[in-house]
A and B are shown apart, each in its own frame.
Chain A
Amino acid sequence: MNPELLLAAAIIAGTPILFAALGELLSERAGVINLGLEGTMLVGAVAGFAATTQTGSAWFGTAFAAFAAGLFGLLFAFLVITLRMNQIVTGLAFTILGGGLSAYLGKPFIGKPVADVMAKPDFGALADLPFVGPAFFRHDALVYLAVILAIAVSFYIWRTRYGLILRSLGESPDVVDTLGMNVTLLRYVYVVVGTAFAGLGGAYLSLVYTPSWIENMTAGRGWIALALVIFASWRPMWLLAGAYLFGLVDALRFRMQIGGDALISPYFLNMLPYVATIVVLVLMSSNRSRLKFGAPAALGTAYDRERR
């Protein structure tokens, strides 16, 4: 196949992972690990599809997906921040909860076409350039939104005062507290915004990528995103590159399944999300590997000011 089309396919397949990983990055930088990413994406996917069907507007559906996933994240935040429940266990529970909830809510939408298609941005002459045009300038709006978000998050983290506070929040929440800032409130904000990002990833799947509602349609992309955050060392621009790399693998898998002449058996590529799951759990539960990958020091621990 053409290299420019393969590149385009990689960008498309990487976009939902990028949305989810960016959201997880915000949450983890704030010190909260949300393993419920997979479930959150599914909630976003079904909410986006349902809202688009009801209103006939894909843009409204996308916004609603972010809102619904944010609500789902608010419940998670309440459990792990306010009630200080174990983040790993709660996150796993939310993966299962999100899967079940979306399957239940999505029953009426199975097999239906999407009610509205988002208009693609028109880049004029750029889109007609050889190679560059089909590779980069003929995508859906959400693809560009993901790139813009990645750049914005990167700028926010490294160049703004609030970004500095965010970096400290996951390292040493006690410092942030001592300096008179509200650790609980800030963590709530980042968990909810983070899950809203994951919701956008879900909406992209059900409204643009597939486009239809299929049960469990994320197929492990949430777990891939989680692993990606670790391998990108919690840096947004590395995430951007990593997401497209995973997108490339995904695109190749698709070609191989229909092409028949496979370099690696597609079954191995299908196993990737599950390998990613195990990798995430192993890396995050050993102190040594957390240090090595530069995980935020307070990741996964509830903050309690008067603990003595």
Chain B
Amino acid sequence: MSAFKTERATPVHPLVRLRGVSKRFGDVLANDGVSFDVPRGSVLALVGENGAGKSTTMNILSGLYLPDAGQIEVDGQALALGSPKASLAAGIGMVHQQFRLVETLTGFENISLAIDRGRFLQRRSADDALRQQMHDLGFDLDLTVPVWQLSLARRQQLEILRVLSAGARVLALDEPTSVLSPIETQGLFAIIEKIAASGRSVVLISHKLSEILGVARDIVVMRGGRVVHVGLAKDSDPDSLARHIVGDRRFTTEARPATRRGDVVLTVDKLSVADHRGARVVRDVAFKAHRGEVVAMIGVTGNGQTELMETIGGLRKPLSGRIESPQLNGRRHFAYIPAQHLGTGLAPGLTVRENALLGRQFLPAFGPWLRRRAVDANAREVIARFGVKIADNAPVRRLSGGNLQRIVLGRELQDDPKLIIADYPTRGLDVASAAQIRSALIAAAAAGAAVLMSSEELEESLSMATRVLVMHSGAIVADLPAEEADLETIGRLMIGGREAA
């Protein structure tokens, strides 16, 4: 312990101290001797790629996972591990990426779930302490409506309110900005600063560096289940952090293809679509996509993008409207990359070899009984496209998200498609995989395909798209060439604001 004492800048001991925390899931060592301190009254950012072990660490801290080894101290007291109850009692509050709210209950009922105030439920919608807390944080929440009626940003506020009113001293937020628009993100950071200023600690898990450097004081970088870098935000710059995050792998992003519009490949006219509950989620959408274009569909998640993509992909029946793609000859020249790679894009229990064959199994090259040699060659071709090593005889569910998406893309791009529909092609992927996926899509557009992609990252969309469609509550609210689009305008349009404020 003395070794750590000398490293600390402040004389007070840290609020949370993790030492040698390890956790194994099957063959994967998700956490490998993780040790770091969370100081009091400040914001610590835990950064790393997907699969770096950040969420596992936080799930261990909040008691959901029982680690195989290691200790955690809160305020100098050893924490009983593997018990959410003990973690809550010690003052550790977690806001998960997928909100832990009961959607059919009201906000007040959700808070009552967490706080024991006697056997019977209070009828009042909010008591004084709760109202004071909402006032301090600047929340404007109606606690009497069921959660499913609240926006994602409001739900997040409700979770934060619940965690704090349950007495949390450490607030851990797992990827809190992934569901927020840029303006909502600024609001969240203002809240985080208020919480830290009140003497509580905030642990922010993220993979968006630009955001973190503005709000965090300390930065802990994880890679492959280990802590690889600990430092102060003021001494860090995005480039050096990015190197810590990805290690010594090289990756490049190609520039967007030159805007040379070819023929129209896809015409969508007056299209309306209902979701599985029967609510209209796409309203009167009309646009065209040309060869050589990368069209980025931007919007806050849940504004109809996925339903629109699925309808164009033929997975969903439209309520009304028209989709035409005269140049396409059936499935052959059409590529569809679904938002969910495992399950929709790939069959989890089949091997890489079998998945690479799906959709092509009736081609004469494979013969009537699937010639083994042709099947193997096909798999090698799909894998080789991205220059990575993937064993082709294991079930695909064991692969990482990046490799899953490489296989989907490798398969879909095989026949030089003329139209590529990619629904959130880089979501949840690590930096290196996302860059490769982007390059592949840009290269396909340069080769004459029309690419229609949805994305939740503005910078990504603007860096690679030639045209930008902004979606808000089911309608296309803007259709601009990428050069004319700037972050601020689009950010405003995404949350339903006017083009010029």
* A interface with B by C-beta (< 8 Å): 158-165, 167-168, 171-172, 174-181, 287-288, 291, 294, 297, 305-306, 308
Contact = CB atoms under 8 A, between A and B. Distances in A.
A179 B112 contact: no
Contacts of B119: 160-162
Contacts of B101: 172, 175
B104 interface: yes
Contact of A167 (B62, B105, B120): B105
Q: Which 4 A-B pairs give the minimum distances between C-beta atoms?
A: A180-B85, A180-B84, A175-B100, A168-B102
Given A172-B100, A287-B276, A179 B113 contact: yes
Given A165-B113, A168-B105, A172-B102, A180 B120 contact: no
Interface of B: 25, 62-65, 83-89, 94, 96, 100-105, 109-110, 112-114, 116-121, 276-277
Contact of A179 (B88, B105, B118): B88
B277 A178 contact: no
Given A175-B110, A288-B276, 18 more contacts: A159-B120, A161-B116, A161-B119, A161-B121, A164-B105, A165-B113, A167-B105, A172-B101, A172-B102, A174-B100, A175-B102, A175-B113, A178-B64, A178-B96, A180-B83, A180-B86, A180-B88, A305-B64
A214 B94 CA distance: 56
A171 B113 contact: no
Given A180-B85, A287-B276, A306 B65 contact: yes
Contact of B121 (A159, A175, A288, A308): A159
Given A165-B113, A178-B84, A180-B88, A171 B103 contact: yes
A164 B120 contact: no
B104 A171 contact: yes
Contacts of B62: 178
A297 B119 CA distance: 25
Contacts of A308: 25
A186 to B, nearest CB: 13
Contacts of B276: 287-288, 291
A136 B382 CA distance: 76
Residue in A160, A179, A287, A306 with the greatest tally of chain B CB atoms within 10 Å: A179
A168 B17 CA distance: 33
A291 B84 CA distance: 31
A163 B84 CA distance: 21
Contacts of A159: 120-121
A176 to B, nearest CB: 8
Contacts of A168: 102, 105, 113
18 contacts: A159-B120, A159-B121, A160-B121, A161-B117, A161-B120, A161-B121, A167-B104, A168-B105, A168-B113, A172-B103, A175-B110, A178-B84, A178-B94, A179-B88, A181-B85, A287-B276, A288-B276, A294-B104
Nearest to B56: A308
Nearest to A182: B85
B120 to A, nearest CB: 6
Residue in B85, B113, B119, B120 with the greatest tally of chain A CB atoms within 10 Å: B113
Nearest to B277: A291
A179 B102 contact: no
A287 B275 CA distance: 13
